[in-house]
């Protein structure tokens, strides 16, 4: 059964790390056991709070990477070198360690299989995380909604969930994944190169007449450029939903 967005008051809960998985040299997934977790929708996020021995607290928001079918919520954290929280989560946290979290949060940037398709997902860097929750949900429910992911990464090694995305495409159930790299390219790279622009969007997206659901997530500049281009191409603004990452003390 797919979870629905909870209406209860958000409270801080204790969570235990039950598994970790490296996604890239700088990013790691944390799988959490959370007593009383109310369930979530693909695209929602949660708040993480860390408390130091002297009482100092730091709080950050992270998108949920897991589908609602998984009772253990998971987040994928990319390490920001001068960050306050992400280096600890991505490097130091171990199985059995505890942290506080609050969520799930958000109801606008969500998609469930019952909404159908076609579905366009556009990600930049770690913006893939909430979109991956949607793709995992799509697979878990056996949805055949046509879906296309356009994913921009700095380098080949920076691609989150690379092997899993390949496996999802291999299911041959209507999912297409298009990668583009903006910096160093492997010598045998056969994908796209450069930033996502209007021409690439026009090539990958459905036509406005097909009334696609579009979700765009990543750095602010990418999100603004993609959303503007999609609207200029004739897509309904209400069907282009965005979530952006701005500068933080991550």
Tens digits of pLDDT across the chain (250 residues): 444 444 567 899 999 999 999 999 999 999 999 999 999 999 999 999 998 888 889 999 999 999 999 999 999 999 998 888 999 999 999 999 999 999 999 999 999 999 999 999 999 999 999 999 999 999 999 999 999 999 999 999 999 999 999 999 999 999 999 999 999 899 999 899 999 999 999 999 999 999 999 999 999 999 999 999 999 999 999 999 999 975 544 5
Report which DSSP code applies to 50: E
| Whole-structure pTM value | 0.93
| Beta strands per DSSP E along the chain | 12-24, 27-33, 45-51, 57-63, 74-78, 98-105, 119-124, 147-153, 175-181, 192-193, 213-219, 240-245
What is the DSSP pairing of strand 119-124 with strand 147-153?
A: parallel
Residue pair 132/162 in contact (Cβ under 8 Å)? The answer is no
Report all structural domains of the chain as residue ranges with CATH numbers, in order of start: 12-105 (2.40.30.10), 113-245 (3.40.50.80)
Residue pair 174/142 in contact (Cβ under 8 Å)? The answer is no
The DSSP line for 193-250 is ES---HHHHHHHSPPGGG--EEEEEEEHHHHHHHHHHHHHTT--GGGEEEEEE-----
Residue pair 185/193 in contact (Cβ under 8 Å)? The answer is yes
């Amino acid at each position: 059964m797919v979870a629905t967005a909870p209406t209860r008051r958000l409270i801080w809960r204790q969570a235990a790390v039950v598994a970790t998985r490296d996604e890239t040299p700088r990013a790691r997934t944390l799988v959490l056991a959370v007593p009383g977790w109310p369930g979530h929708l693909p695209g929602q996020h949660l708040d993480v709070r860390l408390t130091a021995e002297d009482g100092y607290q730091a709080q950050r928001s992270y998108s949920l990477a897991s589908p609602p079918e998984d009772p253990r919520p998971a987040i994928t954290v990319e390490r920001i070198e001068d960050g306050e929280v992400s280096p600890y989560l991505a490097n130091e946290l171990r199985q059995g360690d505890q942290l506080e979290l609050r969520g799930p949060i958000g109801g606008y940037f969500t998609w469930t299989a019952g909404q159908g398709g076609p579905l366009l997902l556009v990600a930049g860097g770690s913006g893939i995380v909430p979109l991956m929750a949607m793709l995992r949900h799509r697979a878990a429910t056996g949805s055949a909604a046509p879906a296309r992911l356009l994913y921009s990464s700095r380098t080949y090694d920076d691609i989150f969930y690379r092997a899993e995305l390949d496996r999802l495409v291999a299911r041959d159930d209507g999912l297409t994944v298009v990668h583009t790299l903006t910096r160093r390219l492997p010598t045998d790279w056969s994908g796209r190169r450069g930033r996502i622009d209007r021409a690439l969007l026009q090539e990958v997206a459905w036509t406005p007449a097909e009334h696609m659901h579009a979700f765009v997530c990543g750095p602010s500049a990418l999100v603004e450029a993609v959303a503007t281009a999609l609207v200029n191409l004739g897509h309904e603004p209400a069907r282009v939903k965005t979530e952006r990452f701005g500068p933080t003390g991550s």
